[in-house]
């Protein structure tokens, strides 16, 4: 955004709603992108507790806010407050992006796009292979949709602290996407290392290892990995998590969460502005902005 247009009558407002929200890197990412493209937009964080969600979404229309990212804990509850939902939202059951189209609010899930962009370069290795997914929350839903929609693995192992949640996820996607080859495991009561070693792709969809708990990892030894594997951690702060360090020690290919984060943001940016985010420059800026953890 150039200095002459900053905060004038033509400024388009975008932002992110969640609770809490103060640690989000989305404002930094989008405002840098607006500046790089000289767009008269601004991106603001809005801390919205669940009790105020309905009022906040009404305010989006009332104040002419062009677009919002939606994060925890609102990704599911926001669906009843918008006019239209995209195909991926209808299947995943959660949205992370809203576009205000002349008063009509349309919901999308660009997390799915972020996962796809991260994994598509490895499609040949993933298709018809075994995948292990750790976690059964909202992020896991986006991961499963992306896998089944574009990559078609042979089997998906769902590993979670609460196996009932994993079973529910299995039944949900078996019905929604007609994929029956799931196997569920309790994280604390399964041959964890053996399951991982038999997988071509391993994905951590939990927040374990996220700053400030950087010494935590869902896997505790590099012996769980092989050099033929791909290991993807959706956590992006730190960029290189303990999990990825262990995988690297075994020679595995590692994928950090920053790629997913930037590409989900880029898709939202495009939906709001009609323009492509300069992702290469955004990657560089974020890598400098997110302090490396020693």
Task: Look at residue 284 in the predicted model and tell me its pLDDT.
Answer: 96
Q: Report the mean per-residue pLDDT for the chain.
A: 95
Instruction: Give pLDDT, residue 144.
Output: 98
Cite the residue boundaries of each domain of the chain with CATH code 3.40.50.720: 113-255
Residue 123 has pLDDT above 90, yes or no: yes
Q: How far apart are CA 149 and CA 54, in angstroms?
A: 32
pLDDT digits (tens, 9 = 90+) for 86-113: 999 999 999 999 999 999 999 999 999 9
Band of the pLDDT at 3, cuts 50, 70, 90?
A: very low
Q: Is 75 an active-site residue?
A: yes
Rounded to an integer, the average pLDDT of 4-8 is 67
- Could you give the residue range(s) of every CATH 3.40.50.10860 domain in the chain? 12-108+259-289
- Domain spanning 12-108+259-289: CATH 3.40.50.10860: yes
pLDDT at 24: 92
Is 83's pLDDT higher than 60? yes
- Give the model confidence (pLDDT) of 32-55 as tens digits: 999 999 999 999 999 999 999 999
What pLDDT was estimated at residue 259? 97
Report whether CATH 3.40.50.1000 matches the domain 113-255: no
Catalytic pick among 66, 75, 170, 242: 75
- Confidence tier at 137 by pLDDT (50, 70, 90): confident
Q: How far apart are CA 276 and CA 33, in angstroms?
A: 9
């Amino acid at each position: 955004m150039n200095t002459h247009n900053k905060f004038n009558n033509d400024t388009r407002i975008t932002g992110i709603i969640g609770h809490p929200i103060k640690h989000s890197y989305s404002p930094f990412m989008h405002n840098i992108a607006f500046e790089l493209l000289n767009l008269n937009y601004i991106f603001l964080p809005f801390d919205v507790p669940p009790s105020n969600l309905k009022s906040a979404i009404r305010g989006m229309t009332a104040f002419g806010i062009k677009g919002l990212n939606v994060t925890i804990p609102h990704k599911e509850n926001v669906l009843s407050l918008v006019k239209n939902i995209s195909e991926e939202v209808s299947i995943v059951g959660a949205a992370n992006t809203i576009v205000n189209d002349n008063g009509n609010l349309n919901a999308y899930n660009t997390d799915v796009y972020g996962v796809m962009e991260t994994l598509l370069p490895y499609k040949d290795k993933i298709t018809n292979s075994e995948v292990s997914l750790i976690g059964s929350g909202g992020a896991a839903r986006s991961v499963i949709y992306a896998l089944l929609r574009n990559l078609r693995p042979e089997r998906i192992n769902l590993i979670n602290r609460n196996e009932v949640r994993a079973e529910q996820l299995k039944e949900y996607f078996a019905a929604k996407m007609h994929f029956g080859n799931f196997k569920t495991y309790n994280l604390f009561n399964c041959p964890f290392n053996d399951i991982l070693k038999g997988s071509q792709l391993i994905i951590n969809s939990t927040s374990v290892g996220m700053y400030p708990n950087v010494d935590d990892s869902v896997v505790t030894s590099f012996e769980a990995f092989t050099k033929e594997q791909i290991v993807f951690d959706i956590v992006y702060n730190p960029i290189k998590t303990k999990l990825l360090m262990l995988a690297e020690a075994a020679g595995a290919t590692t994928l950090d969460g920053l790629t997913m984060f930037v590409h989900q943001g880029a898709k939202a940016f495009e939906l709001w502005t009609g323009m492509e985010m300069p992702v290469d420059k955004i990657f560089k800026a974020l890598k400098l902005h997110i302090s490396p953890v020693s």
